[in-house]
Amino acid sequence: MGMEEFGGGQSDKSDILVVTTNDVPGYRVQQVIGEVFGLTVRSRHLGSQIGAGLKSLVGGELKGLTKTLVETRNQAMERLVEQARVRGANAVLMMRFDVTEAADVGTEVCAYGTAVVISKE
């Protein structure tokens, strides 16, 4: 598995800036639109569960599960960006991820933040 498979975040071409900070240097918040989120729940693949069980006996990274979690976080972030776009924002401030187990059958990932309209100072 190459390093690109473990990455995440936005592409350089996105029209919605997503940051984990409270502000963006050189920009001013013109309008606060409000909370936006992207949510997805992924079930575990039977093969990866068996592999993870075997791997846990000897230790080490569970690469199949890592790849699934990266894909899940990316999907949640794409949904966050789409919701911000639909609501008229051009940025999301204070973006965070929340990850929880969903009834022992999968993983819930929620990307959330504050949708805003920003402009250069």
Hey, how many other C-beta atoms are within 10 angstroms of the C-beta on 116? 24
Poorest-pLDDT segment among 5-14, 53-62, 63-72, 110-119 = 53-62
CA distance 120 to 90: 12
Q: Confidence band (pLDDT; 50, 70, 90) for 4?
A: low
Higher-confidence residue of 94 and 63: namely 94
Indicate the number of domains in the chain: 1
> What digits encode the pLDDT tens for the residues 65-101?
778 788 888 999 999 999 999 999 999 999 999 988 8
Poorest-pLDDT segment among 55-59, 62-66, 67-71 = 55-59
> What digits encode the pLDDT tens for the residues 20-44?
999 999 999 999 999 999 999 887 6
Length of the chain: 121
The pTM assigned to this predicted structure is 0.79
Q: Which domain holds residue 40?
A: 3-120
Q: What is the pLDDT of residue 24?
A: 96
CA distance 30 to 109: 29
Q: What is the pLDDT of residue 56?
A: 60
Q: 92: domain CATH number?
A: 3.30.110.70
Amino acid in position 49: Q
CA distance 76 to 9: 10
Q: What is the pLDDT of residue 42?
A: 81
